[in-house]
Structure 1
């Protein structure tokens, strides 16, 4: 008789095989996971063990001597460094020296009593008693480097509070006395882009700096074509800094063999920037005027200027013009042109229109109206310096300016252009 129950022989053979494969897969996955976790933990531990922090050490000079790097002093007037390297090649560029006055140079003893230093003092004319600048020079032949040490300033004038810009008779720009916070800017010409500055010394007329600045990659032949330009300024926290004066030292006038591997101290008179204007004149301005009574409008076109004084040590200027409309002696409107960079003959070609006040019962008239024009030299850091001024109309208008003003008053709707010499 046949057994009706199912045959379990095949099932008993397959089930153990499936269970074995499943168990092997689970063990393999578990082993892989554990291995990866152990590797990650060991790697992290090795990184932490290998990292050791050490204090930063200064770089030593190959020659064993202390290096002369540019000394960075904290200054409230600090600006972003200009692009360029001190190692860039020097170009032979001709330039005009500012405030060029013949002087007699004598060699005397050390100014500070320091042995081994030679002092060269220039005995020139008196430039308003702005004091003197003491600095030292040394040329390192093995490094082709010029080291300039700004030592101190002596006898600086008091800083002045502004009364009227341009009155040079009362200290700096005709101002009243106040405290002085001086510092010195230095650049090596003609490569004007390399500028350094000292720290600000507070509330003193005799600041002591003792700061070294090094210019690398300069041969003695290149130095003979260059000049040192120092600008002495008084720091102002709330406006542009006041320029006290400047010193230009052509290296061609110094025996460079004296400064080779030895320090030479020099003392020079600080000269006012206004001196160059007195020597060269203030230039001329071409303007065109048109009076339109029906519209009660005065149009002025600033065309160009010529024969401007050299306001920069490179023999150029950055001129622009400010215009003021005065009614009964009071300024009621103002305009200004764009700055024309690096030129002594700027071309403006800019037109401005002023609406003239109308007096009831009298109609439109220029009787109580006048114009004041100021030609200035723009400076990014310091106060813009007035080159010259011109007045048209008003009680102080005389000579050629008065003739031009009367001509436009008597010839309405006509554009009349004239050259005018700028005054102090």
Structure 2
């Protein structure tokens, strides 16, 4: 038991979430108000985050009750968001309350990936139809439900696996474009012919540009191609790597498929990967990121 307590002390506290819950029996409706969160983890270089909540009910069997996760609005640039938003779950029977949980996962809103901030579980057995139940819950670490909430997020432009390494011998940033998955289909055959353009900005002389080979007729191209950008570690603190994915069209202009930006101005996992690459040189740091629908090179 002592070991358990020690283990519990080591669990990181990811902040707090204040919730108000009420149950309207005549409507079989559970009304969940996300009031506010406090002391959330910082996700950008300025020490801020852009949080939102995703909610579901976990049944006594340990399954999520609803296929669709409910989502609050995003509150921008704060670790202490005031949500004050009520989300309703309809079709909750009174007898379900006894053994079910309200599950809330908080994420940081970013167009290249929503990073996990913390999760809260609330037993619904304490909820009565007469009064509103208010509670402040400590936020805990990732689990199967937060992963499910994460997977329920839609990335229509697909994802990219990128590996970064700062090579001290060559004084260069090495970028390995590994692969992409679930790219947009641009051609009549329901496929695309994707290639990736890379540029390290600022690029005054327009010589910090590379591109991968074209992979024909696939939405899940595997590249494993390496590119070198000369830069000092100090330079990298001020630079941004811009990756854009294109569908090769012979004889007409290429179609844009998605973009990713990595640098000291990034957030969450993107920022972490960039900083790890500078702090721990001569090692590859690999991560999946979502592709955004806007073209930053325009």
TM range, normalised to the smaller chain?
A: 0.3 to 0.5
Decide which structure has greater strand share: 2
Which one scores higher on RCO, CA 8 angstroms, separation ≥ 6?
A: 2
Q: TM-score, normalised by structure 2?
A: 0.46
Q: TM-score, normalised by structure 1?
A: 0.34
Which one has the largest radius of gyration? 1
